[in-house]
Structures are given as C-alpha cells and as structure tokens.
Amino acid sequence: MKIIWTLNTIKFKIIENFIYLLWYIKKSQEGSHVKYVLNWKILIIPKHKEIARWTLNNIFKILSFHLWKDKDFIQEQFLNYIKKKK
C-alpha cells in the first residue's frame, strides 16, 4: 500500500507518538536530532515542527529494517494510527 500524499509535511509530535507505540524509548537529544532506542537498534529523527515526506519515507525504511517488516506494512500502520487520532 502506498501513501497518497496530500500534504508535504507531517508534524513531528505525530511521528514521535507513533514511534513510542512501536516501543522505542527516547535516549537522548543533541541539537535538533532525537535518538530513540529499541533493544540495540538506534533511530535518529530530526526534531523540527514538521517533517518532510521524504524524511518520513526514510524513517519508514529504517523502521522496516529494525522491525523486520515490509515498509508498506509500516506505512499502513502509520496511516491507521493517523486515522484513529482524528
């Protein structure tokens, strides 16, 4: 399933809450980048008010690698999360 982009950006807080649902823990922050940890896996995300869709696509790639899931599955979970928030 592909995300049909209607907006070019998504708020950082939405992405952060989704990452917490995947059991990542905030480890540290250096400047505008936040480090999240899941076991030995590290995920670093820029902490801007809004995240560009290209950056979000890369975050999905990293999450799919960490969680051993398909990137489309991660995107689908993210879309379901957004729908529940509304």
Q: What is the CATH number of the domain that holds 65?
A: 3.30.160.90
pLDDT string in tens for the chain (86-residue length): 455 556 688 899 999 999 999 999 999 999 999 999 999 999 999 999 999 988 999 999 999 999 999 999 999 999 889 888 76
State the pLDDT at residue 45: 95
Note whether residue 41 is domain-resident.
yes
Question: Can you give the residue range of the structural domain that contains 14?
Answer: 9-85
Note whether residue 1 is domain-resident.
no
H or E stretch at 53: helix 53-67
Angle at 64 (CA atoms; ends 83, 22), nearest 5 degrees = 55
Number of domains within the chain: 1
What CA–CA distance (Å, rounded) separates 40 from 55? 22
State the pLDDT at residue 82: 87
What pTM was estimated for this model as a whole? 0.86
H or E stretch at 84: helix 71-85
